[in-house]
Structure 1
């Protein structure tokens, strides 16, 4: 606590004492410097004059000094002075006569001339020395008053960092005018920043570089801003069941191998918190149902939803009987089985908006086929996120898992841009992707607003691991202290010697003084408060690898909007007739050309490990009010991007199937809506016709008759 109060008198006293003390110390430095310069000038001038004068002149000047002493000090003008002539003869000369002689006047003139010439030269030299002393005092004082770097992280300017990176090959990404080296891209980038700080602006710049270099990217877009600027109809792909431009997709399109069922189930069903039983049981049940549907050749989303979400517990237990799912769901354990079914129903809400389709996008095929520069946009609105969160998590997890199934190639570049990472469920493959994707050419760009959100989704240890896998950090302003502290810790610490200066003053001048001490300390390179106080579009860039941290300022980019962010789809997912799964009609229309990235549901791996081929179907359309017609027109409505079509009006499908049944009686089995109401199979050949309208998931629970012919 200060001696004086913080009133006017106390402040005036402290300020006056400090000012007077500073003036006194400054004056003292000036006086001592001037005195040292004067002494140096005199001594240097005398020495140079002595060296310049001839020896005879020096001897004569010495005798003249002796005569001057006898004349003016002793007061004896007649005192003899022994003078030696240049020839060596010695003379006794009176002191006054020697001083009045012409030879003495010539020697005095030569001395004066030498003093002027040499004195001017030495004066210039002394002034230069004084300026050098002033510079030395300033530099040494600045060094004593500043911190001395020992080891750890360090700061640099943008220009200095560019100079350090000049010899490295540039990549397609840049931040704040700094090009990220190509070798750093597959080591992943972490981008943090509160809303409005410029995080999306930096991502726009990165995506522009990716598009310019013709690289492929998987982009998770939560606001539609990336679609508006970078989506190219006919080349890029959108996945969003609520968007008209979205490609059709089915979970069976991305299970080319049997163990991929487990990967899909793990990404759809999140971890259950403290009790992992419910999540693991739900995953096992989902895998069993999907495998059984493959065995029954009923690979439709509607059939999956009918069994899991719209059937009773007994039907679900009967469906997974004699499969691995029987260990989780049974009619005896009603309460446990009901909890598992409820868990599955909650995560499969978004599946009801998927179309029943035999052709569509395979995310794994899109990742592995490197024939073009197309991008995959996974979009969602804020109000759609609660419904689509499990579905989007599964899509992204399939994509990043497919990257690591490719052949190693460090020259490959496939960017996975996931902004707002905490808005999704936990991505099971993300940690493995960040740790191993470098040799496959996978480049992760992860963004988040708040680190506690990331911890809430992934847990404290895994969240720290995810951020630790990213070598390049781009840190914008953080509005909360935990995020700022986490960023500050990861930007690094510095060990340095700090200078501490203290001043003492009192009534006696002897008490006035300045105390200077130096202490070795370790401090964060950037304080959390500095991160909280950053302006918009300003942040810190850390590459690591013994490179300094820089503070950069980005510029706002006004991009041209090419496409609308969303084109809302008026109707939910299309549901096909249940009998169409087993239809094998003889059709006359030619098959249309298909994109290799869009696959049918065949071949698929069934639970027995066999490869099954889905039979062809013939879909014929008649008005709802008409009876089953023989001359029905083939239904080939496949318009729109990526083969998507939405029927404008309600119409019915007449599905004709002729199949050869085995000589075995099959028991009737009843399924809820979305599948055939009744399968009546008799001995011999039969012809079944089922008529039902197109309906959208969940709107119709009617059972449709099967007519035996």
Structure 2
């Protein structure tokens, strides 16, 4: 401290003296307001209830106690009329004695001595009550001081409560059937969206596991988007449940055509399969995206009318159908203006916008399984959309299609139930892109749709669907569990969700003076706004601890479920062991494996094609189409013949000799009556 007006010791003296003086004043007040009144109170009560004779008896007893035992005296007490009478005693010889010793007085008043015994109890009470009175006044002064030093809420968010207190509040008001992190959820909470948000390893999956088990116990219809397979391995029941991932053995043969019931379903699927990109898209990009969706919708609808069943048929039609046949198929539709006619370049641009998403459709096994039938069946079967890191890029469009179909089917039924009937657990849902969660949460809750999601950061929504759309989706989840977060801006956004509060804050100041009599302490009261929970508190949370904000007017609560985890010295099984895997992820479909056989002295196909193009280019009359045709011819011969290696075979990109028959073209020809 530079240029200090007082030393640390001097300041300490002033602070100590001030505290001591104020404490002494409080002690003096406690004595005069507590101890002294309580000392006299028993005597006042006794005097008010005793007769004059009882008072005189107690007075005589008090005097006799301290008088000389051998001295005789006259003792007077009042009678029932209020006149003083001398106490007399009958001696052994029958004489009346008026001068009595103290012991004789006790014998003479033996029948009325109970008044003295009663007074003894009041006397003892007068010795005890002052301590109680002193303590009571001291505690009152202390409480007054504490209350005046407490910050008081004026308006804004309510103070954070414990999870036990929040659970009690919900159960008393509108408690439902489910719990989240051991807090009872309001009855309306499942249908208004539940979100778990936190960094990796913060405990999101454990809460989802626990909620899943509660839902399964109620035998509710459940659709689980499981991007890592964690929930599949824990809860899939072979022979009863279903899963979808064409790259895994046992996947359902989903048919997009079986999902179609109304004409407008095709438009819904087109937007799910080819969702608009985040932000605003202008110009040619916007045209090709819209045209691609129109083409997909029209072809899906026309193929369905012609009896198509297998999902892969739409991919075959787009990839393999000749231009004239495609033009005939989509004629007199919204797609014909963009794809039909002589605009070949425009047609190719539109088809290219779709083609990058069609690999997944081509891989779906043939069949007619539909999620529509799954949701309408009267059982508690579960449907897992099973993702893996290496197949996500290929099948994400299909996952969006399936979810869009499920939501469309529920909406079309228009069956208002106002209770949870269908549960959608969508972990890391941002990996699917924009599936219109905000619309589904707003419109499907009255049909019993409950959506549960878990994400690591709201910025994941921003990257997949744009900031505005991401914020909109985040705001549609009314119940949020916020766990540990690592990024500063994310902590601040979470703190904003919990809210701010306007507080009346109290602070102390210390007045220092050379004269001890002028030392003093003061209290300042100010109004200001503050965070309900500081952002840094959210960043410093332990795993399996967080803040829970429920739908409605309930306050936020600090939740802690670390006792679910295994710990040293604990007997019995840890709670998390209930979530352990009971099976493995299904085996990979071997038809997806690429087999390469390199032969000694083999020739690279690219070299052969390059040589053929070079030779054709030396011909001055050769056009670009001639060069392309020559390259295609040589490539087909090389791949289909004996001399070139490698030979590669896979399910979705088949590098073998071209098929002799175009299945999609044959189907369309037959449908259109052409030869």
- Normalization by structure 2: what TM-score? 0.71
Give the deviation of 1:375 after TM superposition. Answer: 0.6
Superposed CA deviations along residues 193-216 of structure 1, whole A, max 9, x for unmatched, are 111011111111111111112111
Q: Comparing both structures, which one devotes a greater share of its residues to helix?
A: 2
Task: Rate the CA distance shift 1:4–1:216 in 2: closer, same or farther, 3 A.
Answer: farther
Output the aligned Cα RMSD.
Answer: 4.0
Distance between the aligned counterparts of 1:515 and 1:307, measured in 2?
A: 85
Give the deviation of 1:10 after TM superposition. Answer: 6.0
Distance between the aligned counterparts of 1:374 and 1:560, measured in 2?
A: 20
Distance between the aligned counterparts of 1:301 and 1:49, measured in 2?
A: 99
What are the equivalent positions in structure 2 for 1:304-319 lying under 5 Å apart? 304-309=314-319
| 3-state SS of 1:462 partner | helix
| 3-state SS of 1:324 partner | coil
- Is 1:497 aligned to residue 497 of structure 2? no
- Is 1:222 aligned to residue 230 of structure 2? no
What are the equivalent positions in structure 2 for 1:466-485 lying under 5 Å apart? 466-485=473-492
| 3-state SS of 1:347 partner | coil
CA contact (8 A) 1:309 1:344 kept: no
Superposed CA deviations along residues 408-446 of structure 1, whole A, max 9, x for unmatched, are 223451101111121111103x22210122221111112
Specify which of 325, 328, 333 is matched with residue 335 of structure 2: 325
Superposed CA deviations along residues 238-277 of structure 1, whole A, max 9, x for unmatched, are 0111110210113212112221110110001121342233
Provide the residue aligned with 1:27 in structure 2: 24
How many residue pairs match? The answer is 540
Task: Rate the CA distance shift 1:362–1:50 in 2: closer, same or farther, 3 A.
Answer: closer
Distance between the aligned counterparts of 2:334 and 2:26, measured in 1?
A: 91
Q: Which moved more, 1:459-468 or 1:114-123?
A: 114-123
Superposed CA deviations along residues 91-145 of structure 1, whole A, max 9, x for unmatched, are xxxxxxxxxxx99x9xxxxxx9999997764443332221110110121111111
Distance between the aligned counterparts of 2:8 and 2:323, measured in 1?
A: 83
| 3-state SS of 2:591 partner | coil
Unaligned residue ranges in structure 1 (runs of 5+): 62-84, 88-101, 106-111, 574-672, 674-693
Superposed CA deviations along residues 619-666 of structure 1, whole A, max 9, x for unmatched, are xxxxxxxxxxxxxxxxxxxxxxxxxxxxxxxxxxxxxxxxxxxxxxxx
Provide the residue aligned with 2:373 in structure 1: 365
Provide the residue aligned with 1:176 in structure 2: 181
CA contact (8 A) 2:191 2:419 kept: no
Provide the residue aligned with 1:417 in structure 2: 425
- Is 1:158 aligned to residue 113 of structure 2? no
| 3-state SS of 1:523 partner | strand
| 3-state SS of 1:396 partner | helix
| 3-state SS of 2:416 partner | coil
- Is 1:139 aligned to residue 159 of structure 2? no
Specify which of 435, 444, 447 is matched with residue 437 of structure 1: 444
Task: Rate the CA distance shift 1:511–1:390 in 2: closer, same or farther, 3 A.
Answer: farther
Q: Which moved more, 1:560-569 or 1:27-36?
A: 27-36
What are the equivalent positions in structure 2 for 1:642-653 lying under 5 Å apart? none
What are the equivalent positions in structure 2 for 1:663-702 lying under 5 Å apart? 696-699=651-654, 700=656, 702=658
CA contact (8 A) 2:14 2:516 kept: no
Q: Which moved more, 1:400-409 or 1:437-446?
A: 400-409
Task: Rate the CA distance shift 1:541–1:37 in 2: closer, same or farther, 3 A.
Answer: closer
| 3-state SS of 1:244 partner | coil
Provide the residue aligned with 1:660 in structure 2: none
Task: Rate the CA distance shift 1:207–1:544 in 2: closer, same or farther, 3 A.
Answer: closer
What are the equivalent positions in structure 2 for 1:214-253 lying under 5 Å apart? 214-253=219-258
Provide the residue aligned with 2:132 in structure 1: 128
Provide the residue aligned with 1:704 in structure 2: 660
Task: Rate the CA distance shift 1:478–1:326 in 2: closer, same or farther, 3 A.
Answer: same
CA contact (8 A) 2:481 2:546 kept: yes
Provide the residue aligned with 1:399 in structure 2: 406
Distance between the aligned counterparts of 2:18 and 2:542, measured in 1?
A: 40
Specify which of 267, 292, 295 is matched with residue 285 of structure 1: 295
CA contact (8 A) 1:451 1:482 kept: no
Provide the residue aligned with 1:377 in structure 2: 384
Distance between the aligned counterparts of 2:582 and 2:164, measured in 1?
A: 35
CA contact (8 A) 1:41 1:122 kept: yes
CA contact (8 A) 1:220 1:378 kept: yes
Task: Rate the CA distance shift 1:296–1:212 in 2: closer, same or farther, 3 A.
Answer: closer
Distance between the aligned counterparts of 2:487 and 2:468, measured in 1?
A: 20
Provide the residue aligned with 1:568 in structure 2: 588
| 3-state SS of 2:484 partner | coil
Task: Rate the CA distance shift 1:158–1:46 in 2: closer, same or farther, 3 A.
Answer: closer
| 3-state SS of 1:520 partner | strand
Distance between the aligned counterparts of 2:38 and 2:257, measured in 1?
A: 96
- Is 1:274 aligned to residue 280 of structure 2? yes
Provide the residue aligned with 1:18 in structure 2: 15
Distance between the aligned counterparts of 1:481 and 1:536, measured in 2?
A: 18
CA contact (8 A) 1:176 1:552 kept: yes
Distance between the aligned counterparts of 2:45 and 2:542, measured in 1?
A: 64
Distance between the aligned counterparts of 1:695 and 1:123, measured in 2?
A: 99
- Normalization by structure 1: what TM-score? 0.67
Distance between the aligned counterparts of 1:14 and 1:209, measured in 2?
A: 62
CA contact (8 A) 2:482 2:494 kept: yes
Distance between the aligned counterparts of 1:299 and 1:703, measured in 2?
A: 22
Distance between the aligned counterparts of 2:661 and 2:506, measured in 1?
A: 91
Provide the residue aligned with 1:651 in structure 2: none
Task: Rate the CA distance shift 1:50–1:296 in 2: closer, same or farther, 3 A.
Answer: closer
Q: Comparing both structures, which one devotes a greater share of its residues to strand?
A: 1
Provide the residue aligned with 1:350 in structure 2: 360
Distance between the aligned counterparts of 1:12 and 1:350, measured in 2?
A: 79
| 3-state SS of 2:485 partner | coil
CA contact (8 A) 1:172 1:213 kept: no
| 3-state SS of 1:179 partner | strand
| 3-state SS of 2:453 partner | strand
